Amino acid sequence: MPLPKHLFVNDESGALSDTRESDWHKRVALRGVYCRTYLTICTVSEFKATLRAGSNTWPGLYPLYFIASDGTALSYDSARKEFRNIASSIREKSSDGWRVVGCRINYEDNDLVCDRSGKKIESAYGEEPASTRNSH
């Protein structure tokens, strides 16, 4: 769901501001961190901000994934679908496999899959499968 036109997200800080007042840029933001990637996630707010920031870094567009407290990998799609379970586990500091504790870039692991959906998590620099490489 897109934000209303009067709301502005600062690309640098991730802050959310209301632009309806003439000096909005001098005021304290509505939310200091609305959209930002956290490498370590301790609160539901940090998890939400990381989800909002998207599944790729900026700059670079490196693919991101979540890490649960039990070490499992979780794709952004699965994290969105299981938001309630994850938020509850973060709040309660549960060890039930749903508590997201971090977000990382998948640089080279071509075999990394989401432990919830079984779908592949894209890698930035991993080798292409043999079937797609050009042979000379």
**Model pLDDT for residues 47-93, shown as the tens digit of each residue:** 999 999 999 998 889 999 999 999 999 999 999 999 999 999 999 99
pLDDT for the residue 4: 94
Q: pLDDT grade, residue 1 (50/70/90)?
A: confident
pLDDT for the residue 130: 56
Q: Which residue has the higher pLDDT, 49 or 21?
A: 49
- Provide the 8-state DSSP code for 113: B
Percent of all residues in the chain with a pLDDT value above 90, rounded to a whole number: 80
Predicted TM-score of the model (pTM): 0.86
Please name the residues in contact with 14: beta carbons below 8 A apart, sequence gap of 6 or more. Answer: 33, 34, 35, 36, 49, 53
Q: Residue 14 has which token pair?
A: 């991730």
Whether residue 23 has pLDDT greater than 80:
yes
Return the closest-CA partner of residue 98 out of 111, 112, 115: 115
pLDDT averaged over the chain? 92
